[in-house]
Amino acid sequence: MRYRSLAAISGSVVGSGVRCGPSSDRCRYQQNWVVLTLYCTLVGFSYTSALPSLHQFVTSSTRPDDPNVQPGLGLNETWYSWIVSILSIGEFAGAVVTSLLLRRIFTKYVMLANLSLCAFGGLLYGVGENSWMLLTGRFFIGYYMGAVTVVLRTYVGETCSTVIAAMPPEKREKSNLKNTAFFATFIVCTISSLSGPSLAAIVAQIPSIDQFRWLGYFTIIYSFLLGVVTMVLFKEKRGDVQKKGGPVLLKTLPIPLYVSLLIA
């Protein structure tokens, strides 16, 4: 009777007495974890890659007497402080809004929307000619970072709990699946964060690449590729949203909306 109750929770049918949840669901969750981990790499790169050159980008100006000095925006230290802090403000806003949307919209759609905002922020960072463009671009990139943090912890935590609940009692009590999954994503974020300054240092040695604006273009390209990977590999079912207690607001993938946001 105890196994039948467990099977009812996990959606499986117990025949032999010892069964886990549906293998298709487990594979689907694991595949989705890999996709979300790729989102973490963009978070790490976005945060640390800009640090070596951000101050010079914001405060330096054109010097006709020294052509070796690459021109920046020529802003004062006050603007630099705002441009640095706006990233954290964006993270807060992204975390709050995303936590509200996750209960009613598929995780895939939430992530694609946030990815579009990140690409738009990268575009503003790459072509920005004034303080407001750079400020807005950094805000959207920060918004994406905050959203990814919420989605990652929420989705991995919920799906790990579902997989663990579907295990036989003797395996369920010893399972460290949730801690292992969180630790793996932490390692990925750490490695990508540490790699950011190294990548920026390598780019700085290539004269043909703008050492200030390359990160914006990199963000656009990476976001587009990550969006394609998400649409192809990230799998969800309607019940994944319904079990959270909220109505499903989106039933079909808004591909035209996603593409239009990227083009914009």
Q: Are the C-beta atoms of 129 and 137 separated by less than 8 Å?
A: no
Cα–Cα distance, 206 to 214 (Å, whole number) = 11
If 0-12 CB within 10 Å is exposed, 13-18 middle and 19+ buried, where does residue 184 land? middle
For 64-73, 176-185, 189-198, which range has the lowest pLDDT when averaged over its residues? 64-73
Q: Could you tell me the domains of the chain?
A: 34-263 (1.20.1250.20)
The string of pLDDT tens digits covering residues 55-96 is 788 887 655 555 555 667 778 888 888 988 999 999 999 999
Q: Are the C-beta atoms of 12 and 1 separated by less than 8 Å?
A: no
What is the DSSP annotation of 151-196? Answer: HHHHHHHHHHHHHHHTS-HHHHTT--HHHHHHHHHHHHHHHHHHHH
Q: Structure pTM?
A: 0.74
Amino acid 210: pLDDT:
80
Q: Which two tokens stand for residue 228?
A: 């394609």
- The one-letter amino acid code at 201 reads A
- Smallest CA-to-CA distance from 225 within 43, 42, 95, 87 is with 42
- Non-local (6+) Cβ contacts of 47 within 8 A are 87, 145, 193, 196
Amino acid 46: pLDDT:
77
Cα–Cα distance, 83 to 166 (Å, whole number) = 47
